[in-house]
Amino acid sequence: MSSSRPTENTAGIHELGKESPDIEDPKSLAGYDVDERGGHHDHVVVADRLARKLSARQVQMIAIGGTIGTGLFLGTGKSLATGGPASMLIAYMIVGVIVFLTMLALGEMAAFIPVAGSFCTFAGRFVDDGFGFALTWNYWFNDAVSTAADLVALQLILEYWTTNFPGWALSLIFWFALIAANIITVRAYGELEYWLSLLKVVTITIFMILGIAVNCGGNRDHKYIGTKYWYIGDAPFVGGIGGFASVFVTASFAYGGTESIAITAGETKDPTKNIPRVVKNVFWRILIFYVISVLLIGLNVSYLTPKLSTKSSATSPFTIVFQMAGSNAAGSFINAVIMTSVLSAGNHALFAGTRLLYTLAVNRHAPQVFGKLNRNKVPWVAVLATSVISGLCFGASFIGAGQLWTWLQNIVGVSNQLSWIAIGIASIRFRAGLKHQGKTHLLPFKNWTYPYGPWFSVILNSFLVLVQGWSCFSPHFSGVDFVSYYIELPVMAVMFVGWKLLKRTHFKRVEDMDFETDVYERQPGEEKADRKGWRGKLETAVRWIF
């Protein structure tokens, strides 16, 4: 069975000035769409109803900034304290490989079918509707909890300066700021995220240069540090196998958000060109921003450093390195920059969670009210509903910000891993369906690691999910830690089985897979936007490097 892709493009229907059908009436979406001339064709558009207002500039920087967040700036402190420098470096490298393979698989699907739900939509379309239901709700909760975790992180960062100002008040201020940025228009979100992401990139670049200088003697003591901190106490592997295993969930939390760049595909201009660009550069971002930063942290900061990670507080290793380089003023400066980075991470998480709740409504997996759009095509009800979960951050007043942040970090880290597993499974089924229907040649971007990459990611991730909670069993069993490591597994299983039994869903057969709905065709004029000659080659080179 084979068929060609539709010749007419309808993904940009809003930009043509036509009103889209109401989400409450899915029948109006079935079977046809309207083109600019008032004619009809067979290309069905269901989920692709958001305004495409994110430019290539914004998407590229959001993708880079999405790789740099609370997990890198603050989570590396916990990783270093519990696992030591060697465990931290190895774990971040392994998880980095997993993320790279996952992004290649995801980019292949997102460039072909760029919708807001991204991999959650793919899981339902190419595996099983129950699987897509469970994954989407899981990842929505992931993003909502991530926003809460970032608001808690703000309280930890504030403690560097003072403990007299109530942390919940700071969280409340930024909570309203995030809601405002996400509810007005996607262009406001994109522009805010662009500049915050640019600031993060500049900060990481300065940190890497400064980290090398500090290690070579450019510190307050004017002494060469070298690998000294790799051999003190229990270093380089702290806490044995339990300490090593526990770093994986922290690393997964840190890398989380990289895959959610595909969720912006539903609001990205010319996604068949821009999404592959973003995916191809993931490897370099992982290598530069994570591996090198983690290596420099392990060389310059001892795992015995006070307040690196405790139940009541946590200090960023980045702040410590800046202090070593100069004065407390330098530490205050980087701490302020880290605060803006945490705000950026929360902004990104709230955006992604909102789009997933919108997708749940579109797919009839959630009340239809969450699919309502304002005049700027922003799902405003979904923004408000997702932000409500962020109220978890106020629990820090009773539990302790450091302890609450650790638990939230574990939950989000495991949720990220489950999402990566699902992306791998969806990719395997996606390719199988394309091959059976003779449509593989239609892919605008191909995952060159298929089939080995997706299979490797699924198997290794599954193993890590099971063993990374080792520390909650040894030396003594910790019930709360156990729940934070493993609660996601039964919850997602129950949601999958429950929806499957309730709706009597079936695993998708390759011959029944839908490769027509929401498939994107480049708009007239988008091909002309590609620069030719030396300018085009220069832009290509810059994108490859950065």
Q: Name beta bridge partners: 268.
A: 54
**Which 3 state secondary structure label does DSSP give 54?**
strand
Task: Decide if 192 is inside a domain.
Answer: yes
pLDDT at 2: 38
pTM for the full predicted model = 0.80
**Which 3 state secondary structure label does DSSP give 427?**
helix
pLDDT at 40: 40
Task: Decide if 177 is inside a domain.
Answer: yes
Task: Decide if 35 is inside a domain.
Answer: no
Nearest to 243 by CA among 292, 303, 297, 289: 303
CB of 270 within 8 A of CB of 56? yes
- Number of Cβ within 10 Å of residue 443's Cβ equals 17
- Number of Cβ within 10 Å of residue 169's Cβ equals 10
Task: Decide if 173 is inside a domain.
Answer: yes
Nearest to 509 by CA among 447, 422, 437, 403: 437
Task: Decide if 171 is inside a domain.
Answer: yes
* Domains held by the chain: number: 1
Three-state SS string over 186-235 comes to HHHHHHHHHHHHHHHHHHHHHHHHHHHHHHCCCCCCCCCCCCHHHCCCCC
Q: Name beta bridge partners: 54.
A: 268
Q: How many residues does the chain have?
A: 546
Task: Decide if 41 is inside a domain.
Answer: no
69 Cβ contact list (under 8 Å, min separation 6): 150, 254, 256, 257, 341, 342, 344, 345, 348
CB of 181 within 8 A of CB of 362? no
Residue range(s) defining the domain that contains residue 238: 56-508
For residue 411, the domain's CATH number is: 1.20.1740.10
Task: Decide if 439 is inside a domain.
Answer: yes
pLDDT at 376: 77
CA distance 416 to 79: 17
pLDDT at 23: 42
CB of 103 within 8 A of CB of 284? no
**Could you say which residues of the chain have pLDDT below 70?**
1-67, 116-117, 189, 260-269, 310-314, 396-398, 522-546
CA distance 478 to 90: 26
Task: Decide if 20 is inside a domain.
Answer: no
Tokens in use for 323? 């202090």
pLDDT at 295: 95
- Number of Cβ within 10 Å of residue 429's Cβ equals 22
Enumerate helices (H) and strands (E) in the chain, giving the number of each: 20, 2
CB of 100 within 8 A of CB of 255? no
Helix axes 380-388, 167-184, angle to 10 degrees: 160
